[in-house]
Amino acid sequence: MTRIESVSLRRVLDSRGNPTVEADVLTQSGGFGRAAAPSGASTGEYEAIELPPKEAIAKAREHAVPRLVGSVHAGNQRDVDAALHAADGTEDFSEIGANSAVAISMAASKAGADVLGAPLFQHLGGTFRDADRSFPVPLGNVVGGGEHAADATHIQEFLSAPVGAPSVAEAVFANAEVHAAVADVLDERDIPAAKGDEGAWAPAVDDSEAFDIVAEATERVEEAVGFEIKFGLDVAASELWDADAGVYRYGDDERTPDEQVDYMAELVEQYDLAYVEDPLDEDDYDGFAELTDRVGDRTLICGDDLFVTNVERLSRGIDEGAANSILIKPNQIGTLSDAFDAVELAQRNGLDAVVSHRSGETEDTTIAHLAVATDASFIKTGTVGGERTAKLNELIRIAEEAV
């Protein structure tokens, strides 16, 4: 019933105005799915390879489409993704491009769900998914810099974390209120700010002032809404790491790896951070393990560039105690099956999964379904801006549908 009839690929725009790959999958019984690949700016060194979209599309048309059409069923995600791997033949999707692969993988999942008449989160999560399970808490980027905005903070993302919200919808609205409260605080302090790639405020302040601003904004909204709002960080420390000098560079300031671990532990303590992503360089398993040992009982230490949604890197991290959570970005690994494998390995070993957008996004909402289907603790998908609210609004609809 879900046998694939056609796969069409085209270039569309992402939120940065760059072309990206969009896929349409049509089944013989008329099921339809459409999905587009996101794109990172602070990409990890070990991610699957994104090719220029024209090249990725040409290669996928040549190698992947003939393997899928007429033989593979869109409802069987493992078969779809195995065909993509077979068509590519490399470890990192460098032949057909992880951007083509992930677009086709996600579009096929939607076509499969369409034929079955099931919502995507249900199709991906399975019929035995417990509707009473808790929903992912949205992490909302409210202040940022790094690779996402010039002349702003060194730490890439300051993330509102409404951990006490009674519902997904209230959590989503709370993050938007924190974003607005940050604008108020900036205004009161006469600090002008544009927005970065993900819609977060990108003021030209040092990181210590950004902490002060975000702490004040979250406190104000916490008082107004009456439930707990913490905040967290994506340090994206690989972007700060100067391998030649062996130090993390924060503008003119620098920290040795030991000082970086101390600094992160102090920040967790001082601001009661709920979440710290990539506090150390992507090759520093030891530093991650030391920090997790020190503060992992009171916050999530999450590997993004460290793990790149890759089960081999995650296995090493589990063996070494390098983190207590993993960021899941399907385009880092190329298919939904690989992303699911990473979630499953993480959860089986007591790590939390955090499903994430990329800084370059489209209106695609697959990750909202993925986060619910995998019972992820958090979903990181921005706060404002159409490509971000597309996912947040879908999450609200899913929560309504799933009760």
Contacts with ligand PEP, residue ranges (CB under 6 A): 40-43, 147, 234, 236, 304, 356, 358-359
Closest CB to ligand PEP among residues 147, 262? 147
54 belongs to the catalytic site: no
- The one-letter code for the residue type at 380 is K
Closest CB to Mg ion among residues 108, 379? 379
How far is residue 198's CA from residue 386's CA, in Å, rounded to a whole number? Answer: 10
The answer to whether the annotation marks 391 as part of a ligand binding site is no
Closest CB to ligand PEP among residues 129, 249? 249
Closest CB to ligand PEP among residues 147, 363? 147
Residues binding Mg ion: what is the number (CB under 5 A)? Answer: 2
CB under 5 to 8 A by kind: which of Mg ion, ligand PEP, none does 358 bind? ligand PEP
Q: What minimum distance in Å lies between the beta carbon of 395 and ligand PEP?
A: 17
Closest CB to ligand PEP among residues 196, 287? 196
User: Using the rule CB under 5 A, is 234 a contact of Mg ion?
Assistant: yes
Q: What minimum distance in Å lies between the beta carbon of 50 and ligand PEP?
A: 11
The answer to whether the annotation marks 304 as part of a ligand binding site is yes
Phi and psi, residue 10, nearest 5°: -150, 165
Which residue of the set 198, 222, 239, 394 is catalytic?
198
The strand pair at 19-27 and 157-161 is best described as: unpaired
User: Using the rule CB under 5 A, is 197 a contact of Mg ion?
Assistant: no
The strand pair at 378-380 and 137-144 is best described as: parallel
CB 368 within 8 A of CB 358: no
DSSP secondary structure string, 327-344? EE-HHHHSSHHHHHHHHH
Q: What minimum distance in Å lies between the beta carbon of 360 and Mg ion?
A: 13
The answer to whether the annotation marks 148 as part of a ligand binding site is yes
Q: Which has the closest alpha carbon to 102: 93, 111, 112?
A: 93
Reading the block at residue 330, the tokens are 């399907």
CB under 5 to 8 A by kind: which of ligand PEP, Mg ion, none does 239 bind? none
Q: CB nearest ligand PEP: which residue? A: 40
Closest CB to ligand PEP among residues 159, 185? 159
Q: What minimum distance in Å lies between the beta carbon of 280 and Mg ion?
A: 12
CB under 5 to 8 A by kind: which of Mg ion, ligand PEP, none does 40 bind? ligand PEP
Q: CB nearest Mg ion: which residue? A: 304
Reading the block at residue 52, the tokens are 């220029």
Closest CB to Mg ion among residues 234, 282? 234
Reading the block at residue 194, the tokens are 């544009």
The answer to whether the annotation marks 156 as part of a ligand binding site is yes
Reading the block at residue 301, the tokens are 């230490």
Phi and psi, residue 185, nearest 5°: -65, -40
The answer to whether the annotation marks 329 as part of a ligand binding site is yes
Tell me the C-alpha to C-alpha distance, in Å, between residue 26 and each of 30, 34, 84, 136.
6, 9, 16, 30
**Which runs of E-coded beta strand occur in 14-117?**
19-27, 32-36
The answer to whether the annotation marks 95 as part of a ligand binding site is no
For residue 172, what are the β-bridge partners? none
Site for Mg ion (CB under 5 A): which residue of 14, 304, 352, 361?
304
The answer to whether the annotation marks 356 as part of a ligand binding site is yes
Other Cβ atoms less than 10 A from the Cβ of 55: the count is: 13
Tell me the C-alpha to C-alpha distance, in Å, between residue 164 and each of 146, 227, 384.
29, 5, 21
Q: What minimum distance in Å lies between the beta carbon of 115 and Mg ion?
A: 35
Q: What minimum distance in Å lies between the beta carbon of 118 and ligand PEP?
A: 29
> How much of the chain is in helix, strand and coil states, percent to nearest 5?
45, 20, 35
CB 317 within 8 A of CB 292: no
Phi and psi, residue 159, nearest 5°: -115, 120
Which residue of the set 329, 361, 387, 391 is catalytic?
329
Stretch near Mg ion under the rule CB under 5 A, chosen from 57-65, 228-236, 263-271, 346-354: 228-236
Angle between helix 257-271 and 285-295 (nearest 10): 30
Q: What minimum distance in Å lies between the beta carbon of 304 and Mg ion?
A: 4
Stretch near Mg ion under the rule CB under 5 A, chosen from 10-18, 73-81, 106-114, 299-307: 299-307
110 belongs to the catalytic site: no
Catalytic residue IDs: 198, 329
Q: By the criterion CB under 5 A, which residues form the site for Mg ion?
A: 234, 304
Q: Specify binding-site residues.
A: 148, 156-157, 234, 277, 304, 329, 356-359, 380
